[in-house]
Amino acid sequence: MPHHRKILAVTLSAAACAALAGCGSGSGAAPRAAAKSPTTKSPTAKGPDAKSGVNPAASAPAPGAARAALPLAGRTVVVDPGHNPGNFQHTADINKKVDIGTHPKECDTTGTSTADNYTEAAFTLDVSHRLRDLLKAQGATVVLTHDADRPFGPCIDERARLGNAAKADAVVSVHADGSAAGHRGFHVILPALVQSGAADTSKIVGPSRTLGERIATHFASATGTSPANYIGSGTGLDIRSDLGGLNLSTVPKVFLECGNMRDPKDAALLSNAAWRQKAARGIADGIGTYLKG
């Protein structure tokens, strides 16, 4: 609560003023009696501090200054949790095809799962929440394409439109792979050059690759895992032209397959909450270095 000081108004009679040395002299000197005024030592005085000469009001941070000092303030990141836990109950809906520019493709899929039935949809939502919190702590505006707050989807074309509508500085679609046992590691999927129908990735291929490279580097460092041993030739990068979420994006976007849910060793990591926090940190660090240039 702000403090208020009371101002004591003192009216001196002409006779009293005459009795005080310097009163009305035009010299500007304060009457000696005024030095005892309780208002001269108010702890809430607005003037410069007597010792430092600094005006507390002038040195106080302006409203919003703390937020402006955060490294990702003013930047917008769209986080796209792959699949939706409700997709399993809406297979007819997610099997309907949508146009991805190059060809029609199913609206969405159920995603994969570990042998212990930890689903990809549950994994991606958990990592996305952790990622959102880390990015917001750095000042970014974060938009989720869904938060398990709808029956199914969104479809892959709508996911792309959500990133476009947000005018995102970066979009990351979080996934986990469903490859064969023995296939281990993560990989980042980058958009290919596609110019077909509603799809035109010509403006985002370059920046998306930079975004993907930064995420791959920091993800490996944060999680201690290696690039996939079964795709990307050890680079951790894969280029695809068959994903609607990439084809229809007009802003820099990548997919991240955090590991292989069908491999027991990778599945053990993906199922571990502490490891998922490391994964979120790696993604956030990659996005941060990309946005900071």
Residues 4-33, mean pLDDT to the nearest whole number: 37
What is the predicted pLDDT for the residue at 66?
53
Residue 84 has pLDDT above 90, yes or no: yes
Tokens at 250, concatenated: 């007009």
**Is 145 a member of any domain?**
yes
Q: What is the pLDDT of residue 68?
A: 58
- Looking at residue 89, what is its pLDDT? 98
Q: Does the residue 2 lie in any domain?
A: no
**Residue carrying structure tokens 């005459």:** 18
| 7 found inside a domain | no
pLDDT tens across 26-43, in order? 333 333 333 343 333 333
Same domain, 57 and 82: no
Which of these, 125, 247, 241, 232, lies nearest to 176 by C-alpha position?
A: 125
Q: Residue 69: what pLDDT? A: 87
Residue 265 forms part of a structural domain = yes
Considering only 50-54, 67-71, 186-190, 268-272, which range has the smallest mean pLDDT?
Answer: 50-54
Residue numbers of the domain that contains 158: 74-292
Claim to verify: residue 37 and residue 177 sit in the same structural domain: no
Structural domain total, the chain:
2
Q: So what's the pLDDT on residue 4?
A: 40
Q: How many CB atoms lie under 10 A from the CB of residue 108?
A: 25
Segment 200-248, tens digit of pLDDT:
999 999 999 999 999 999 999 999 999 999 999 999 999 999 999 999 9
- pLDDT at residue 2 is higher than 90: no
Q: Which is nearest to 235 in space by CA: 218, 223, 217, 253?
A: 217
Report if residue 140 sits inside a domain. yes
Query: Bridge-partner residues for 253, per DSSP?
Result: 171
- Strand 237-240 and strand 253-260: the pairing is unpaired
**270's tokens:** 């993906």
- Residue 53 pLDDT: 39
- Is 120 noted as a catalytic residue in this protein? no
Same domain for 82 and 204? yes
- Buried b or exposed e, range 280-291, using 16+ CB within 10 angstroms: bbbbbbbbbbbb
Are 57 and 78 members of one domain?
A: no
The CATH number linked to 227 is 3.40.630.40
For residue 290, the Cα-to-chain-centroid distance in whole angstroms is: 12
Instruction: Give yes or no: residues 28 and 52 share one domain.
Output: yes
Looking at the structure, tell me whether residues 29 and 109 fall in a common domain.
no
Residues 35 and 175 in one domain: no
pLDDT in tens, 103-132: 999 999 999 999 999 999 999 999 999 999
Same domain, 98 and 226: yes
Using DSSP, state whether 136 is helix, strand or coil: helix
Indicate if 282 and 181 belong to the same structural domain. Answer: yes
Compute the distance between CA of residue 2 and CA of residue 22 in angstroms, rounded to an integer. 37
- Sequence-distant (≥ 6) Cβ neighbours of residue 100 within 8 angstroms: 156, 157, 199, 242, 243, 244, 247, 248
Helix (H, G, I), strand (E, B) or coil at 13: coil
Check whether the bond before 56 is cis (ω within 30° of 0). Answer: no
Q: How far apart are CA 92 and CA 46, in angstroms?
A: 69
Q: Are residues 40 and 80 in the same domain?
A: no
- Any domain includes 84: yes
Identify whether residues 141 and 195 lie together within a single domain: yes
The pLDDT mean for the chain works out to 84
Evaluate whether residue 67 is within a structural domain. Answer: no
> Quick check: is 279 in a domain?
yes
Indicate whether 164 and 276 sit together in one domain: yes
- Per cent of the chain over pLDDT 70 is 77
Q: pLDDT tens across 172-201, in order? A: 999 999 999 999 999 999 999 999 999 999
Q: Which pLDDT tens digit goes with each residue over 94-111? A: 999 999 999 999 999 999
Query: Which pLDDT does position 291 carry in this prediction?
Result: 98
Among residues 120, 158, 213, 257, which one is catalytic? 257
Please list the residues that pair with 109 across neighbouring strands.
Answer: none
